[in-house]
Amino acid sequence: MWSGRTVRGETEYSMPGLSVPALGRARRIAGALVAAMLIAGGPASAADPAPGPLTIAEQGSFFVGGRDVQSDTLSTLPAYAPSGTISVDQIYVRYQIPVSAGRPPLVLIHGCCLTGKTWETTPDGRMGWDEFFVRHGFPTYVIDQAWRGRSAASPAQINAVKAGRADPNSLPAVFSAGREPAWAIFRFGPEYPKVFPDMQFPLEAQGEFWKQMVPDWSASLPVPNPTVPALSDLAKRLKGAVLISHSQSGIYPFQTAALDRSGIRAIVAIEPAACPDPAKDDLSPYKDLPILVLFGDYVDASPRWAPRLKQCRGFVAAANAAGGRAELILLPEIGIHGNSHMLMQDKNSLDIADWLSGWIDKRAPGKS
């Protein structure tokens, strides 16, 4: 259990064997360290913890896609009518536009069992990719997948079973990922609770990470996921976006390009659960399209991820043979080591974001 005490007017929370100071005090300490470094003439890097105030031109949120459905099993509670119309299949989009937006818009797409929180403040309180890219001139759009987070799911089928109007076997396949089995999936270590050497994920703050996990409805949804056509609409609206996906959503930008390539400036698939299959899929939508498939560390030590890396290598080779501009990079190959599956939250996450900014500048320069 967490417990709290007041120290100099701030609350310090602790668990047995772990103490996490209040965020405000940590930020002030970090700011003082950076100030001292600057006074001493030290260079500022991508990972500086206190870069100064964030000034933006605009921020907001909206929905893309969706459809209206009527149901007679929206509720089993006496206070709420069972019949009515709701919207499903939409995606929630939160955006920030920098004052000097000289780079292309980015769409950040989370993976399994997570939400757009993936790209926000890291579990240990550092700057997330959403803020980093805004600070570096990229209009940034963070989504919640359809039926996830703020992109609402429908309770109709669950309530139909509860009311005795549908067979229990018709219940939707909804799941959550427990931290013990997820440990190896996220490649914190080979198995729970072992840790890979030189691991960059902030395991001292893992309690905050596990709170990000939410129920996942994707197994109950059609293929492609309703997120895909919504991404197509969003990319066209942005008139040239870089789609950055992760894990479960790794395939979504490829499916979006196959549906309608207009509006897609480039694809960045971070540790995708799957790449297109050259034996089954048409590769023509990827001709001349800048594509980056990016993996972290310890992949060969993972029975889950090693085959996926191999499959993506096959796709990249086939796509390039068909006139593509695809690349596959493992971070250790460019001198970045120790990264988990959640590399956008690792301790060196901003170094990776900085490298990725350079890749986008070279492969997909300009703005929409």
What confidence tens digit (pLDDT) does each residue in 257-285 have?
999 999 999 999 999 999 999 999 999 99
Q: Which of 349, 302, 299, 354 is nearest to 328 (CA)?
A: 299
Model confidence at 25: pLDDT above 50 = no
* Mean pLDDT for all residues in the chain: 90
At 292, give phi and psi (nearest 5°).
-125, 125
pLDDT value, residue 85: 99
Amino acid at 86: I
Amino acid at 36: A
Query: In this predicted model, which residue has the larger pLDDT, 193 or 100?
Result: 193
Band (pLDDT 50/70/90 cuts) for residue 34 is: very low
d(CA 167, CA 60): 42
What confidence tens digit (pLDDT) does each residue in 334-356 have?
999 999 999 999 999 999 999 99
Model confidence at 21: pLDDT above 60 = no
Classify residue 310 by burial, with Cβ atoms within 10 Å: 0-12, 13-18, 19+. exposed
Cβ-contact 268, 241 below 8 angstroms: no
Least-confidence region, from 14-28, 70-84, 302-316: 14-28
Class of domain 57-363: alpha beta
CA distances from 223 to 87, 148, 227, 252, 346 (A): 19, 16, 10, 10, 31
pLDDT-above-90 percentage for the chain: 85
pLDDT value, residue 263: 97
Model confidence at 64: pLDDT above 60 = yes
SS3 331: helix
What confidence tens digit (pLDDT) does each residue in 225-261 have?
999 999 999 999 999 999 999 999 999 999 999 999 9
pLDDT value, residue 47: 55
Model confidence at 19: pLDDT above 90 = no
pLDDT-above-70 percentage for the chain: 86
CA distances from 1 to 4, 16, 118 (A): 10, 8, 25
State the number of CA atoms in the 13 A half-sphere of 131 facing the CB. Answer: 21
Band (pLDDT 50/70/90 cuts) for residue 51 is: confident
Domain residue ranges in the chain = 3-39, 57-363
What confidence tens digit (pLDDT) does each residue in 112-132 have?
999 999 999 999 999 999 999
pLDDT value, residue 20: 37
pTM greater than the 0.85 cutoff: yes
Q: Which string of DSSP letters, residue by residue, matches 160-207?
A: HHHTTSS-GGGS---B---HHHHHHHTTSSSSTT---TT--S-GGGHH
What DSSP state is assigned to residue 146?
A: T
Model confidence at 35: pLDDT above 60 = no
pLDDT value, residue 50: 74
SS3 364: coil
SS3 256: helix
